[in-house]
Structure 1
Amino acid sequence: MERKYFGTDGIRGHVGEGVITPDFMLRLGYAAGKVLGRMFKAKHHRRPRILIGKDTRVSGYMFEAALQAGLINAGVDVALLGPMPTPAIAYLTRTFHAGAGIVISASHNPYHDNGIKFFSAGGTKLPDEVEEEIEAALELPMVTSDDLGRAYRVDDAAARYIEFCKASTPWGFSLEGLKIVLDCANGATYHVAPKVFRELGAEVSVIGAGPDGVNINLDCGSTNPQQLQRTVAKRGADLGIAFDGDGDRVLFVDCNGELVDGDQLLYIIAMHQHQFLDGCSGVVGTLMSNYGFELALRESDIPFERAKVGDRHVLEKMSANKWKLGGESSGHIICADASTTGDGIIAALQVLRGLCDFDEPLHQLKSRMTMFPQHMINVQLAHRDGVIDHTDVQAIVTDAERQLADSGRVLLRPSGTEPLIRVMVEGRDSVQVKQLAKDISSVVERIGNN
């Protein structure tokens, strides 16, 4: 069936407009309860329990109540976790042997957006066929269950997750002597992340840890790291760590206030596994991963493959290759030997393990990989059909690739939500990269607006 609601990262939208309304959440809870409840009962022969977590945006209270009512009406028990990072819900779903986990969050988006993410009983994203069943069940009339579910609050959820994060490091691992600034984006990590790093011995100062319902991701967090960059320099910290609103992304800032993105963090984790652990079987990036990252891994004989943008596509290719590491330049990093989904705190700890074992500061360790200049232009078009495959577009792309030789690449990618094509060029020479992107974009614009 055609997917109407679910995208690659759940359901997301502007609160009160279109899909994201309390009425929809009520029906979604009922539909999910019916589908997931039936699947769970068929396997375990008992009534399922579904966990609900959320980030700190003000609309979470409203949607939590609506989802809870729908699930209970479908005969499902509900465990309320309160504000928790998205990866914590994935972990706790497994820990409590729940039928599923639900996160109310729009991730790195501003507060006036919200969304829903589902996790299966195994802590992974729901398969397409299950999401399709839930979508189909949205059209069914709601009928009160003969056996209503019940709801209760899990008081020790945060403590359980803190211990889980710490356990992703080896026994005796210590951050003693490390001065860290954390930016919690006024989001779901605000009461969890500081405790993890402090309990491992680091000297921690925190910004973005005063959520008021509307300041999530506002001028802070991984999408707006400027405040963290200034704070690290001002306080003379060794490094800074920025999470997004629901804690599944992470970026670093080195002691000089320079941003360290997801590709650079993945490189550090991969090289640490390669040199100090059992080796790195391979790394999955995306179409947007920096070409310098690919070359650096190749020089160390670490296999690398690209997936489509989106953590689901990254995880699918990781599973197909039986690899344990993958992620995106945005900082969504999956360490599959420690977690079933992208987890900002877990990924940060793996980076810090690398810094400790290499015994090098972050700014020095990241310099082992040369990032290539990357330039992207969003070309607005009247139509996109056939533009990328047009002979004129293919000709100029081929010419650009010839000029770049083996030191760069060209990527043309249609937007999934807007009438535009993203033209991206990267290579060693920033002047050449910008000019080639401009030349290709001119041809794409001419073809797409004729």
Structure 2
Amino acid sequence: MKELVRELGDVVSTDAAVLEEHSRDTSRAEPGGLPAAVVRVHSATEVQTVLRWATTHRVPVSVRGAGTGVSGGALAYPGGLVVSLAAMNQVLEIDAPNRIAEVDPGIIVDQLDQAAAAHELMYAPDPVSYQTATIGGTVDTNAGGLRCLAHGVTRDVIAGLEVVLADGRLIRTGSRTRKNSTGYDLTGLFIGSEGTLGVVTRVIARLKPRPVGEAVTFSAQFPTMAAAGAAVATIMASATTPEMLELMDRNSIDIVQRHFPSAVAAEGEALLVGQTIGTDAQQQAEAVVSACRDAGALLAEAGGGEELLDTRRMVNPALNAAGLALSCDVAVPPSRLAEMFERIDDISVQTGYPVNTCAHAGDGNMHPSVLAANDSAEEVAAAEHVLTLITEAALDMGGVISGEHRIGSLKTGMLAQQFDPDTLDLQHQLKGFFDPVGILSPGRAI
């Protein structure tokens, strides 16, 4: 450690408070102990020094942005290093003619979007934590968000990366061109790799023109989540693609109301909310409302306020405020949402645990959660069992065990249920090729 301090100086911290602050993310995962040091890097050169040192001394490294991840991917390793990229937080360039942004990995997603807005452009992906999450973290997890229905997830807007490999080499992937058919898609390989293949030190992101026209919010109340799921399937089979299409069950809305009171109330068991944007936004919203009415909505209207969408964004904070919330992140084909919600109801009845569900409904990505009565090992295990049953139900429907939050340290046990042995083995081989010593987030993601 003295050797590392000699090379990097005071960017290396062994202060107990700093170690504790950087040891965990916002997930329920608990670190096994404190790291030996936190290295708050300011440049790719410093990252190279850190990883060379870690490889030489066989020290495990976890990579951290803002720590907003919910799957335990940024947890410290006992006696390991935490590499914090939060200080690398500049917008390096907004190239408006080419609709490209080049940024440090520690820039907050909302800050990047606001920088693009000054040029009438937008950075489209918007995770719920967009005001605190870093772009590097969203690249590492291939984050989604509310706007991703219309604009795609993080993978769809990243043009290139600068990455430091485990042995300290620095590589650049992708390009700033609109088209690129050269070589393997290394950019895509690093996106969503959760820091297991390299450390992202620069991001080249594609921007889009900011939508022109009004924004119209719509909502629909349904007697059941299954009925709302059927309405979503109808909407997604139509010619209209809303900017956002979100779904909350009554349990989720009630929890938000208890902790963050608003004027939003659930008349039925499910609330579908969304937004259309553009010169024909009102017409699109009315088409969605009509589809909801045809699908049996108790109430459907266009023209609601932003408060509806704010309520959706407050579900996770409300669950955290309510107690020990255990959640999962599964995705199914949108056409099977209704069936999936019926399975969740059956699982809730079978286990005796109420399930709170919200969803990025248009892309079939849902976040069921269970509130554990206490933090005893037995109670947590029982709540985890409910989520396991829900995840297995998603797999039965051709779904996946994570739609946007990735695997981290919490979900590795279920990878073998989604991947066949050869496919999973190939991923382990890729990990071994890029990180032969195994210092980068060992035991996570795959």
Q: Normalising by structure 1, report the TM-score.
A: 0.28
Relative contact order, CA 8 A, sep 6+: which one is greater?
A: 2
Q: Normalising by structure 2, report the TM-score.
A: 0.29
